[in-house]
Amino acid sequence: MRVSFQLNGKPVEVEVEPRMHLADCLREELRLTGTHLGCEHGVCGTCTVIIDGAAVRACLVLAVQAEGSAVVTVEGLSSEEALTPLQTAFRKHHALQCGFCTPGMLTTAHALLTEQPDADADRIRSALSGNLCRCTGYIPIVEAVLEARAAYRKTKP
Ligand code: FES
Ligand code: FES
């Protein structure tokens, strides 16, 4: 089946099997391997992408369900010129070790702070509770997201 959607701000059209999930479509067909796959059944959060503004597990969405949507992956959060404020905060607070969970952490945090740039630590912990990290512990991750809030407050209309 042919599916068309916006991917990181650009239109894409791709031929997929009806049973292919969005994470495989992104990685295998569109070669965006920043979206990682851990459990493939909605538990670990490492496949999280943003669809029409909401953080969504790409292993639980069929690629064909993305038809007409705006999809943002971790690659779409980056700038070629410099680290983004969220990336800078992750680096400063040592909020990653192996980095396997990090794409999902970043996309989840980005979706949260875009909507709620004043989210407090409890709200951040709640939003990230579906993203499993087996390396860092969560304190540095929450500290990084708390610090990044200032940049999102500036861009909130
Ligand atoms: S790979 Fe999608 S939630 Fe784990
Ligand atoms: S940094 Fe290794 S799983 Fe999170």
d(C-alpha 76, C-alpha 45), whole Å: 18
Report which protein residue has its CA nearest ligand 2's atom 2: 98
Ligand 2 centroid, distance to 93 Cα (angstroms): 14
d(C-alpha 49, C-alpha 138), whole Å: 20
For position 142, what pLDDT does the model report?
Answer: 98
For position 144, what pLDDT does the model report?
Answer: 98
d(C-alpha 60, C-alpha 119), whole Å: 26
Which residue bears the tokens 């496949």?
Answer: 47
- The band of 67, judged by pLDDT with boundaries at 50, 70 and 90, is very high
Percent above pLDDT 90 for the chain = 92
Which residues of the chain form beta strands (DSSP E)?
2-7, 10-15, 48-51, 54-57, 70-72
For position 79, what pLDDT does the model report?
Answer: 80
**Helix locations, the chain, DSSP H:** 22-24, 85-92, 102-115, 121-128, 139-155
Is the model's pLDDT at 157 over the cut of 80?
no
Contact 149, 119 (CB under 8 A): yes
For position 21, what pLDDT does the model report?
Answer: 98
Q: Which two tokens stand for residue 79?
A: 């700038």
Q: Which of 24-33, 44-53, 60-69, 81-90 has the lowest mean pLDDT?
A: 81-90
For position 27, what pLDDT does the model report?
Answer: 98
Ligand 2 centroid, distance to 146 Cα (angstroms): 19
Distances (CA, A) of 40 to 23, 75, 108: 9, 20, 17
Mean pLDDT of 39-54: 97
Mean pLDDT of 108-135: 97
Nearest ligand to residue 101 Cα: 2
C-beta 98 within 6 A of ligand 1 = no
Q: What is the dihedral of CA 42, 85, 78, 64, to 10 degrees?
A: 30
Ligand 1 centroid, distance to 42 Cα (angstroms): 4
For position 154, what pLDDT does the model report?
Answer: 82
Is the model's pLDDT at 134 over the cut of 80?
yes
Ligand 1 centroid, distance to 39 Cα (angstroms): 5
Q: Which atom of ligand 2 is nearest to the CA of 99?
A: 1
Q: Which of 23-37, 71-85, 137-151 has the lowest mean pLDDT?
A: 71-85
